[in-house]
Amino acid sequence: MRYISTRGQAPARDFADVLLAGLAEDGGLFMPESWPHFSPSDWRSMRGLPYADLAARVMQPFVGASIPFDVLRTICRDAYAGFGHPAIVPLIQLDTGLFVQELFHGPTLAFKDMAMQVLGRLFDYVLTRDDKRVTIVGATSGDTGSAAIEACAGRDRIDIMILHPQGRTSDVQRRQMTTVPAANVGNIAVEGTFDDCQDLVKAMFADTNFRDEVRLSAVNSINWARIAAQIPYYVAAALALGAPDRDVAFSVPTGNFGNVLAAWAARRIGLPVARLIVGSNRNDILARFLESNDMSMAPVEPSLSPSMDIQVSSNFERLLFELLDRDPEATRRTMLDFRTTGRMTVSEPVWHRARGLFHGFRLDDPGTEAEIRRLHAATGYLADPHTAIGIAAAAALPCAGGVPVVAMATAHPAKFPDAMERATGHRPPLPVRMADLFERTERFTVLPNDLATIEAAVRALAGRNT
């Protein structure tokens, strides 16, 4: 398996090189040069597999010859061994034709653990094999940072610096990042929004001298390995509901578009996915695009669902590349115009291609609280604000013909205790292993939204541990 850049001006690479590179040198994102395909008999043969073995089987074509299958399977088994539910990704029925798949049973209580626990071990294997080390820099709107730190803390060949927008994550989300005492971990609270943090990360990758100096790598969903490791849970849900002999639909609360892109990738490799619902909060750029071909930036507004407080969804570039028939020049030009003008212009045929599969949904904060309250009263289920948006979207946009809809539960409700208590009167406790989270010492630095300042902090972390 080889990978190419969506912007066409970077050399093709294998999976191991893409893992370490993260972002392509031309500013594009890596995509498979050609897509693997699983037949109906392939899907049927995976029914009943333990989740870790299923994950290795689905990821194997994307990994190719870079990592032996036995090693990949061991990595997946180790990654999921410590999860808090024996099914890893349990599927729960809420109503006729409506299900929720819980992705938050990992060490940091968010769906990001599903990929990060695999990624940390993939990095370890490749870096040890090739006698290399890297400096990982990531931007987080809430959950990615803690999952990345949990996966990388204490690893000998990795330094990791996470940027989060100051004051724009929940207290639990922030403390999960900033209370890890490992020497290879750094945290920066950027005076700005998540989009500012993401732009800083991309600017560091574009700074070739800096990129080479600190051996920069990424764990955000700009890293293709993250997407590859998220495809399996869509497969698991679909197989449990009768695939490949029955279609299924997914409703995904979406910020950076990586999670729903993994669902699209599952469909691209042969899973029978009838519909993908994109759930947005008040930062509704994706919903506006799907509703009226209006992808225009607006200021990022804080909300009850901070992991979705994003206006520039990086992974949309990967879908755009496919919608434009894999034309790298058209993709590059469209993305550069978008960043210059704040508005993405796509033709009506391209927009209609997107709308053929994707459907947008938005819910503001009062609506989110109301959905949390309604769901708890009706079923006893506690959904965090992100998950509540996904469930509301699934209920609002049911599929015809009895196609089941699975809403992705992306975070544990205990990560947002204030919102849960306001909505339901119930304050969900943190798991025992996190009970002392608010007693732990925080370690982070508040810095301005300035590239040189941020690069200096990253350089200091990398230099300290070399």
Q: Spell out the per-residue pLDDT of the chain, length 466, in tens.
A: 999 999 999 999 999 999 999 899 999 999 999 999 999 999 999 999 999 999 999 999 999 999 999 999 999 999 999 999 999 999 999 999 999 999 999 999 999 999 999 999 999 999 999 999 999 999 988 788 999 999 999 999 999 999 999 999 989 989 999 999 999 999 999 999 988 998 999 999 999 999 999 999 988 888 999 999 999 999 999 999 999 999 999 999 998 899 999 999 999 999 999 999 999 999 999 999 999 999 999 998 999 998 898 888 889 999 999 999 999 999 999 999 999 999 999 999 999 999 999 999 999 999 999 999 999 999 999 999 999 999 999 999 998 899 999 999 999 999 999 999 999 999 999 888 888 999 999 999 999 999 999 999 999 999 776 5
Q: Which residues contact 340 (CB under 8 A, 6 or more apart)?
A: none
E strand intervals along 281-403: 295-296, 343-344, 358-362
CA 331, distance to chain mean position in Å, is 22
Q: What is the reported pLDDT for 466?
A: 59
Look up residue 415 and give its DSSP letter.
G
Cα–Cα distance measured from residue 368 to residue 374, given in angstroms and rounded to the nearest whole number: 10
Cα–Cα distance measured from residue 257 to residue 315, given in angstroms and rounded to the nearest whole number: 5
Tally of CB atoms within 10 A around 96:
8
Which helix (H) or strand (E) is 105 found in, with range? none
- For 301, the token pair is 């507004």
Cα–Cα distance measured from residue 175 to residue 193, given in angstroms and rounded to the nearest whole number: 18
Which residue, among 51, 48, 201, 29, has the nearest Cα to 113 in the 3D structure? Answer: 51
End-to-end CA, the chain: 32
- For 47, the token pair is 């029914």
Q: What are phi and psi of 428, to 5 degrees?
A: -65, 130
Alpha carbons within 13 angstroms on the beta-carbon side of residue 46 total 27
Q: What are phi and psi of 54, to 5 degrees?
A: -60, -45
Which residue, among 438, 385, 393, has the nearest Cα to 290 in the 3D structure? Answer: 393
Q: What is the reported pLDDT for 465?
A: 62
Q: Domain-by-domain residue ranges, the chain?
A: 1-114+125-130+223-431
Helices marked H in 241-293:
258-268, 285-292
Q: Classify residue 80 by burial, with Cβ atoms within 10 Å: 0-12, 13-18, 19+.
A: buried
Type of residue at 102: E
* CA-based torsion, 132, 119, 186, 183: positive or negative: negative
Type of residue at 63: V
Topology of domain 1-114+125-130+223-431 in CATH is Rossmann fold (3.40.50)
C-alpha R_g of the chain: 20
Alpha carbons within 13 angstroms on the beta-carbon side of residue 380 total 2
Look up residue 207 and give its DSSP letter.
-
Which helix (H) or strand (E) is 148 found in, with range? helix 144-152
The residues annotated with a catalytic role in the active site are 112
Q: Would you say 268 and 325 are in contact if contact means Cβ atoms under 8 Å apart?
A: no
Q: What is the reported pLDDT for 276?
A: 98
Tally of CB atoms within 10 A around 427:
12
Q: Would you say 254 and 77 are in contact if contact means Cβ atoms under 8 Å apart?
A: no
Alpha carbons within 13 angstroms on the beta-carbon side of residue 97 total 15
Q: What is the reported pLDDT for 256?
A: 86
- For 4, the token pair is 């190419």
Which residue, among 215, 220, 61, 58, has the nearest Cα to 139 in the 3D structure? Answer: 220
